[in-house]
Structure 1
Amino acid sequence: MHETATGTAAQTAFPPAPGAEQHPALDLANSALVLPGGHTLDLLASPADATQWLAARDLAPADAGLQEVCAGRLRTLRDQVTALLTSRIDSAPPPFAALDAVNDALTGAPAAAVLLWDETHGLHRAPSHPADRIVDHALAVLAADAADLLTGPDAERLAACGSAPCHRLLLRTHGRRQWCSVRCGDRARAARAYARRARPAPARTPDEAA
């Protein structure tokens, strides 16, 4: 049976895939996981999950209190970023809808740092992100990182985890085969060992049987 789990209690259950700590866009794509046994795990399933995910990456304050419409926008960008990264891995043309979504996110937040003053810092410049623009800013940062990843040298290292059913994305560090975690590597090796044991022995010829 296919079941879906929420991400509130599982934000730290899976270590980041190789490259995800350097590229938040890769981490975003990996926030929807497919687990063995037909289970899925969505780290952005609810507004609380989305707030926690963004706060852990310094993209929103922990008390941002996002609503479902904002969490939905984050999940939508995740789907489009995943589509772009996957098309790059497959050497396929990028979906135009995904390109539009990333470009919309890139231009959806003010780019200029405004002049501010407070007693602690005095006069200084900083991005202005009122409460209703927190998600705009977060989406712009994630979209910019996706664009940098897709057009930079790391694009050649993009790969998908080689341990089915996991489909997390990663940056290869060496070799042709790569897994997103020790857990997936152990599962892949165990599956190969089981397949070898279950493989029927080749039939003996009459000469060999004599």
Structure 2
Amino acid sequence: MTTTTTWTWLGDHLALDLANTVQESGGAMVDLLPDAESFASWREAAPHPLPWCPAPGEQDLAAVRSLRDDVLALLHAALQGADLPEDAVSRVNGTVRESSTTRHLESVGLAVAVPAGGSPFTRLRGVLAAAAVDLLARDDLTNLALCRAPGCGQFFHRSRPNQRWCSAGCGNRARVDRHRHRRATTVLDGS
């Protein structure tokens, strides 16, 4: 059974949009790409230029999710200032090489990843992997953050240094949760 996802958070860096296809729900991480229909919905909603690909078979979808998991591991390590996991780096680089993805300049400040070879899914994965390479190769990742609001756990770019949540909705949810927790603690303490 497929649940409908609105993908309202799409539009950050492509690597983050891929990583954020996993979301926290009830303390567990939920895969937002469990089937071909969900993948097609995500791909259609993506504001980034992505290579065409047919409806994925289970093996293709598993390969996209595996790449996503590698990107997640790399982003978590980068956020913690830790060494990047060598196995994830190797697989991401291998995906870029497999698709012969290169960068083409579109305009000032805009380059796009262009895959040259492989199956449609190899090309798509090459563009997604190249996006992760682009993001993680930046000199300054200080504006990269992880939203700690209840039910989120998504990566985002801060628009200001003290930004703690990815959206106003997450900020409201976190404040309501904090208020509810304080109130429950006050009642239990008998104050």
Counting aligned pairs with the same residue, the percent is: 33
Instruction: Write out per-residue CA displacement over residues 85-126 of structure 1, whole angstroms, 9 at most, x where no aligned residue.
Output: 1101111111111101110111111347xxxxxxxxxxxxx9
Cross-structure match for 2:178:
192
Worse-matched range after superposition: 133-142 or 49-58: 49-58
Q: Distance in 1 between matches of 2:160 and 2:31?
A: 29
- Per-residue deviation, 1:179: 1.1
SS in 2 for 1:159: strand
Relative to the length of structure 1, the TM-score reads 0.72
1:83 pairs with 2:76: no
Contact 1:6 1:43 in 2 (8 A): no
Match of residue 45, structure 1, among 24, 34, 37: 34
SS in 2 for 1:44: coil
5+ residue gaps, structure 1, are: 113-125, 204-210
Q: Distance in 1 between matches of 2:12 and 2:168?
A: 19
SS in 2 for 1:155: coil
Q: CA RMSD in A?
A: 2.9
Instruction: Write out per-residue CA displacement over residues 125-179 of structure 1, whole angstroms, 9 at most, x where no aligned residue.
Output: x9666xx611111111111111111121552211100213421111111133421
Relative to the length of structure 2, the TM-score reads 0.79
Cross-structure match for 2:110:
none
TM-aligned CA distance change 1:154 to 1:141, over 3 Å: farther
Match of residue 148, structure 2, among 137, 142, 162: 162
Contact 1:54 1:60 in 2 (8 A): no
When the two structures are aligned, how many residues end up with a matched partner? 178
Indicate the structure (1 or 2) with the bigger Cα radius of gyration.
1
5+ residue gaps, structure 2, are: 103-113
